């Protein structure tokens, strides 16, 4: 799987007029920012897929890599490193040498939404990319849904009934082809500062995951 494969990711997608227009406006204000759809990052054949919400204004939207350069990425990348899924505890820039092992990170919505709030129609429009990402996961893979929007986007992409799989931190659901969906609160600044999500809670998610998926000692791929 490659980020240049437009069936999985289209770097020139403009199917959501509001998001496309907002990216143009943001690019005019921050000409050095990525300000385009953000590609998935990591091992194309990884058994662990982490699904977030959408790029952050001064994070992925600036750097062009999921959870890179913003507060939400601090806990995520530190935890991935602690459990052996990466070679570095921090993700600061697209060219910082970070490599993920048996793991890939994506978002339910690939473009920066105003106020970090994509509309339902935009989530549905972008869902086809997530659907193709999930279809290319190996059997028995694990998907971590960071927050309810990501959780629902995974279920919708797999054609499953949302009401049958309620979101809850620590919930686990066996899905099609042996895939396992593991829920976590999103590692956002708000959730961590209010302690809705603590470091211990997030570690607990990855302890469960690491019992089922081991990082490979040698990465298959770096940035995609």
Residue 100's CATH number = 3.40.470.10
Confirm whether 219 is domain-assigned.
Answer: no
- Taking the chain, what is the end-to-end CA distance rounded to the nearest angstrom? 9
Confirm whether 5 is domain-assigned.
Answer: no
Confirm whether 9 is domain-assigned.
Answer: no
Say what the pTM is: 0.93
Q: The tokens 């530190």 sit on which residue?
A: 78
Number of structural domains the chain divides into: 1
Query: Which residues face 86 on adjacent strands?
Result: 100
For the segment 54-79, the average pLDDT, to the nearest whole number, is 97
Domain limits for position 40: 17-210
Residue 217 has pLDDT above 80, yes or no: no
Q: 178-191: per-residue pLDDT in tens?
A: 999 999 999 999 99
CA atoms within 13 A on the CB side of 20: 10
Q: Are 66 and 135 in contact (CB under 8 A)?
A: no
Confirm whether 4 is domain-assigned.
Answer: no
């Amino acid at each position: 799987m490659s980020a240049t494969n437009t069936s999985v990711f289209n770097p020139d997608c403009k199917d959501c007029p509001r998001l496309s227009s907002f990216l143009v406006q943001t690019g005019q204000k921050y000409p050095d920012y990525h300000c385009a759809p953000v590609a998935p990052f990591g091992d194309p054949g990884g058994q662990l897929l982490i699904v977030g919400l959408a790029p952050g204004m001064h994070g992925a939207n600036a750097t062009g890599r999921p959870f890179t350069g913003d507060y939400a990425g601090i806990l995520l990348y530190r935890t991935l490193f602690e459990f052996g899924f990466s070679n570095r505890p921090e993700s600061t820039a697209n060219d910082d040498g970070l490599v993920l092992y048996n793991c890939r990170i994506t978002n339910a919505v690939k473009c920066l939404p105003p106020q970090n709030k994509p509309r339902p129609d935009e989530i549905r429009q972008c869902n086809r990319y997530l659907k193709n990402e999930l279809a290319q996961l190996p059997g028995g893979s694990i998907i971590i849904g960071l927050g309810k929007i990501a959780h629902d986007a995974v279920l919708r992409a797999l054609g499953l009934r949302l009401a049958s799989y309620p979101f809850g931190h620590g919930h686990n659901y066996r899905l099609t082809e042996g895939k396992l969906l593991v829920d976590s609160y999103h590692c956002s600044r708000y959730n961590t500062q209010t302690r809705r999500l603590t470091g211990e809670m997030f570690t607990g998610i990855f302890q469960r995951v690491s019992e089922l998926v081991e990082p490979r000692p040698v990465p298959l791929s770096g940035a995609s």
